[in-house]
Structure 1
Amino acid sequence: MSATEPGRLMLAEMTEQPAVLRRLLQDGAPRIAEVARDIAARRPRFVQLTGRGTSDNAALYAKYLLEIERGLPCGLTSMSTTTAYGAKPDLRDVLVIAVSQSGGSPDLVASTTAAREAGAITLAVTNNPDSPLVAASEYAIDVLAGPEKALPATKTYTAELLALHLFVTALGGDDGTLAAARLPELAERVLARQDEVRSLAARYRFAERMVLTSRGYGYPTAREAALKLMETSYVPALAYSGADLLHGPLAMVDNIFPVIAVVPDGRAGEALRPVLERLTDRGADLMVVGPRKALTGASAGFALPTDDLAEELQPILEIMPLQLLAYEVTRARGQDPDAPRALAKVTETH
């Protein structure tokens, strides 16, 4: 690919993901474990997670991890309660985790500062160790993704997921690197199938709208994939939990309405089965991303190598073909994935 070809930055950063995952497992894990031990010793009773955009989807993934693996109740922060309304909640013994690629968004920094002043244990998970967010936080985890120049975040998202997994595992006193050791090699196998994704992208070149759905650990993947499609190709893409999809939005699905289902290999995939049956009954143009067995009956699919990979780690692989899909759909529509209109790398919300 030439230095001026559209999408070269996004593609290059997607292909860096196996190396980023390796670096985080080898170099980042010891520091993450140290931070987790310190925080575990303080016995937080509740967790609040804060993020915007892609990092908000990573925070949602952490919510599932913390509630399922650690039994800690969690909530997603409404930053405006402190930044716009000046609320002063009692956050003693509460762990506040702020997730941000840049660590520079003013509302994220202000919300974290307010949380620390309110007695919270504050942790920044970011790709910029010199950021204002890190300065505002008591603890910090560097996701070690390296500079990210493309506007659509790709490698920082999967790095955030792995860093959060390692942190939550270490919070319980375990070593998360063992279960995640195969991820870099599996990521290489997925990303090597770009031609396969390009063929799938042809289905959506002229799509006017799309729905993405999943459940459990796969739901943050559906949300992140919808965001990538919207910010690169400008296709309106709605993400729903499979359960929420059945509570009304299913009515808009018909035989010309593309639906992408992220089907985890595990309990969430089983919970999603009735949703897939309803979508098939309605004649939806259904693409499935998941284990090969889940592709039966779908209009199209991408089989993931998730055999023997824990369900909670599968989102790190699930998003990769969907990142490639957003890239390929955007290129097919004659647009540049590196330069989405009206976007900046650091979004300065207040």
Structure 2
Amino acid sequence: MTEAAGRHMAAEIDEQPDLFAGLLAERAAIQRVGERIAEHRPRFALLAARGSSDHAALYAKYLIEVLLNLPVGLVSPSTTTLYGAEPDLDGVLLLTISQSGGSPDLLAVTESGRKRGALTVAVTNTADSPINAAAELSVDVRAGQERAVAATKTYSTTLLALHLLVDAVRGGDGSTAAGLPELARATLDDSADAVEEAVRRYRFAERMVTTGRGYSLATALEASLKLAETSYLAARAYSGADLLHGPVAAVDADTAVLALCGGGRGGDSMREVLDAVAERGADICAIGSAAGNCTARHRIPLPPCPEELAPVLEILPIQRLALGLARTRGLDPDQPRGLNKVTKTR
């Protein structure tokens, strides 16, 4: 398969540092939404999303619980669309995260939530979407049109937008993320050779496990999805803690493991997990700023950054890995079989 395959995905991966800079330059709009949320003093947060956006929602769950000390739940849209549940949402913050802003079930959740007292906030890449119109407040992730079916730039800009939003709610000004565009460019440039080596190592892999803890669990889940939808690889994602509670029994010398090993508490907690996985003979690829401190056969080191921002950088070499594996397997990741850009569910 030639490099023409996946050209949209490749271009959109490379756009991300510039998109981060653009989003940071316009963060005053996100700041205003964060201030409105803070004025409401929510007692609880609910997150509604599907697909890659669901992984971004998990990232937001960690941000809100750790940085705002608010309890958070993930919405099951079918409780609204199939079962007609109508819980009291007075005093609840409802964040609907959708790249397209057009999924019917998420629209129904947003409309229903607003009627039942929730403060509704849409986080989308489509400013004129139905979900934006239904929500009281909205955040534009400013990724521009994404032509590849597999989400890359919309996923990472959503992560950054969510970080800026939560930071604004706690009274921050977004300065923690000020250096992210430069770190993202360094990540893409400096990891290129290690990613190419990973493509060579895993081009014939049949099974892969992705794993991480803390904020990086979202990255593990998104990595699994990217590998499955672009390379048709049987990839499963687990929390590092859950991996040791049973699934590790299925790990052996024929299993490739992508492990997120960043700095901070989440990355530190992965060392024991990877020692156990290595004992079973798995081929481990450690990705992150602390990759050199983890048991692994291959490493993709990343520049250090605050732990809560690491998922924005971690996903970049993984997107490149998914692109490279698809190409080496003779596939076009821009046109995965059976998939459309917008999936409509109820």
Q: TM-score range by the shorter chain?
A: over 0.9
Counterpart CA distance in 2 for 1:79 and 1:183 is 33
Counterpart CA distance in 2 for 1:39 and 1:328 is 41
Counterpart CA distance in 1 for 2:255 and 2:67 is 36
Where does 1:118-137 land on structure 2 (aligned, <5 Å)?
118-137=116-135
Aligned length: 345
Counterpart CA distance in 2 for 1:112 and 1:294 is 44
Does residue 56 (structure 1) correspond to residue 54 (structure 2)? The answer is yes
2:211 corresponding residue in structure 1: 213
Does residue 190 (structure 1) correspond to residue 199 (structure 2)? The answer is no
Counterpart CA distance in 1 for 2:342 and 2:44 is 29
SS in 2 for 1:301: strand
Cα shift at 1:295: 5.0
Does residue 311 (structure 1) correspond to residue 289 (structure 2)? The answer is no
Where does 1:1-350 land on structure 2 (aligned, <5 Å)?
5-27=4-26, 29-176=27-174, 178-192=175-189, 193-292=191-290, 294-306=292-304, 309-350=305-346
Counterpart CA distance in 2 for 1:134 and 1:54 is 18
Contact 2:267 2:290 in 1 (8 A): no
Contact 2:274 2:295 in 1 (8 A): no
Counterpart CA distance in 2 for 1:138 and 1:62 is 19
Cα shift at 1:223: 0.3
Cα shift at 1:195: 3.8
Contact 2:102 2:131 in 1 (8 A): yes
Contact 1:289 1:295 in 2 (8 A): no
Cα shift at 1:292: 4.8
Counterpart CA distance in 2 for 1:148 and 1:132 is 18
SS in 1 for 2:269: helix
Counterpart CA distance in 2 for 1:81 and 1:264 is 36
Identity of aligned residues (%): 54
SS in 2 for 1:160: helix
Structure 2 letter corresponding to 1:328: G
- Structure 2 stretches lacking a partner, 5+ long: none
Deviations 1:139-191 (A, max 9, x none): 00000111111100000111000100001011011112x11111111111121
Counterpart CA distance in 1 for 2:249 and 2:62 is 28
TM-score between the two structures when normalised by the length of structure 2: 0.97
Contact 2:262 2:291 in 1 (8 A): no
Counterpart CA distance in 2 for 1:235 and 1:276 is 22
Contact 2:271 2:294 in 1 (8 A): no
Deviations 1:232-265 (A, max 9, x none): 0000100000010011000001112111101121
What RMSD over aligned residues (CA atoms) do the two structures have, in Å? 1.3
TM-score between the two structures when normalised by the length of structure 1: 0.96
Deviations 1:172-219 (A, max 9, x none): 11112x111111111111212434312211111111111000000110
Change (3 A) 1:293 1:83: closer
- Structure 1 stretches lacking a partner, 5+ long: none
Change (3 A) 1:126 1:32: same
